[in-house]
Chains A and B, each alone.
Chain A
Amino acid sequence: MRISISLIKIYWSFHFRYEKYIIHYLKNMIKIMFCPLIAHLNLHGTMVILSWKQLQIVTLKTSAMKKIKTSLWVAIALIILGATISCGSKKERLNGDIQSLGKITGTYTAKLGAPPYAPPSITQYTSPQKVVVNIEVIEKEMELANGVKYTFWTFNGTVPGPMVRVHQGDEVEVHFSNSPNSTMPHNIDFHAATGPGGGAEASATAPGRTSIFSFRALKPGLFIYHCAMAPVGMHIANGMYGLILVEPKEGLPKVDKEFYVVQSEIYTDGKFGDSGLQHFNLEKALDEKPDYVVFNGRVGSLMGDNAFQAKTGDKVRIFFGNAGPNLTSSFHVIGEIFDKVYLEGGQLINQDVQTTLVPTGGAVITEFTCKVPGYYTLVDHAIFRAFNKGAIGQLEITGEPNKEIYSGKIKDEPFTSKPALP
Chain B
Amino acid sequence: MKRAVMIWMSLFGWLLLFKASRLSAALKDSGNLTSMVYIPEGSFTPFIQAVSSSQQVKIKGFMMDKYAVTNKQFLAFVKANPQWARSRVPQLLADEHYLEQWKQDEQIGDPRIENSPVTNISWFAASAYAKWAGKRLPTLQEWEYVMRAPAVNLPKTETMTAYLLNWYGRPTPRLIPSVGSTYKNKMGVYDMAGLVWEWVYDFNSVVKGSDSRSQGTLQKSLFCASGSQNVLNKEDYAGFMRFGFRASLKARYCIRNLGFRCAMDAKSP
Task: Map CB proximity to B onto A268-286 as digits: 1 under 8 Å, 0 otherwise.
Answer: 0100000000011010001
User: Which one, A139, A182, A189, A208, contacts B224 given CB within 8 A?
Assistant: A189
CB pair B237–A206 under 8 Å, yes or no, is: no
Which residues of A (207-235) have their CB < 8 Å from a CB of B?
207-209, 228-232, 234
User: Which one, A183, A185, A204, contacts B170 given CB within 8 A?
Assistant: A183
Q: A230-B243, A232-B223, A234-B237 are in contact. Are A183 and B161 (CB under 8 A)?
A: no
CB pair A207–B256 under 8 Å, yes or no, is: yes
Size of A's binding interface in residues, CB under 8 A: 33
CB pair A204–B240 under 8 Å, yes or no, is: no
CB pair B248–A204 under 8 Å, yes or no, is: yes
User: Which one, A185, A204, A205, A280, contacts B165 given CB within 8 A?
Assistant: A280
Instruction: Kindly list chain B residues whose C-beta atoms are within 8 Å of the C-beta of A231.
Output: 227-228, 237, 240-241, 244
User: Which one, A180, A182, A238, A279, contacts B166 given CB within 8 A?
Assistant: A279
Instruction: Kindly list chain B residues whose C-beta atoms are within 8 Å of the C-beta of A228.
Output: 223-224
CB pair A183–B224 under 8 Å, yes or no, is: no
Q: In the complex, A197→B171 CA distance in Å?
A: 26
User: Which one, B167, B171, B223, contacts A230 given CB within 8 A?
Assistant: B223
CB pair B257–A230 under 8 Å, yes or no, is: no
A395 to chain B, nearest CB (A): 34
CB pair B249–A229 under 8 Å, yes or no, is: no
A356 at the interface (CB under 8 A from B): no
Task: Map CB proximity to B onto A231-263 as digits: 1 under 8 Å, 0 otherwise.
Answer: 110100010000000000000000000000000
A118 to chain B, nearest CB (A): 27
B16 at the interface (CB under 8 A from A): no
User: Which one, B171, B235, B240, B253, contacts A139 given CB within 8 A?
Assistant: B171
B230 to chain A, nearest CB (A): 12
CB pair B161–A181 under 8 Å, yes or no, is: no
CB pair B248–A200 under 8 Å, yes or no, is: no
Task: Map CB proximity to B onto A159-190 as digits: 1 under 8 Å, 0 otherwise.
Answer: 00000000000000000000111111101010
Which residues of B (148-204) have their CB < 8 Å from a CB of A?
161-162, 165-172
Instruction: Kindly list chain B residues whose C-beta atoms are within 8 Å of the C-beta of A180.
Output: 97, 255-256
Q: Does more than half of chain B's interface fall in helix, strand or loop, or is it mixed? A: helix
B128 at the interface (CB under 8 A from A): no
B232 at the interface (CB under 8 A from A): no
User: Which one, A197, A206, A207, contacts B223 given CB within 8 A?
Assistant: A197
A140 at the interface (CB under 8 A from B): yes
A292 to chain B, nearest CB (A): 15
* CB-defined A-B contacts under 8 Å, sample of 27: A151-B170, A180-B255, A181-B172, A182-B172, A183-B171, A183-B257, A184-B168, A184-B244, A184-B245, A185-B244, A185-B245, A187-B223, A189-B223, A206-B255, A207-B256, A207-B257, A208-B97, A230-B228, A231-B244, A232-B224, A234-B237, A238-B169, A279-B162, A279-B165, A279-B169, A282-B165, A282-B237
- The 9 closest A-B CB pairs, nearest first, are A185-B248, A230-B240, A139-B171, A230-B227, A206-B248, A231-B240, A200-B223, A230-B244, A228-B224
Q: List chain B positions with a Cβ less than 8 A from chain A.
A: 97, 161-162, 165-172, 220, 222-225, 227-228, 235, 237, 240-241, 243-245, 247-249, 253-257
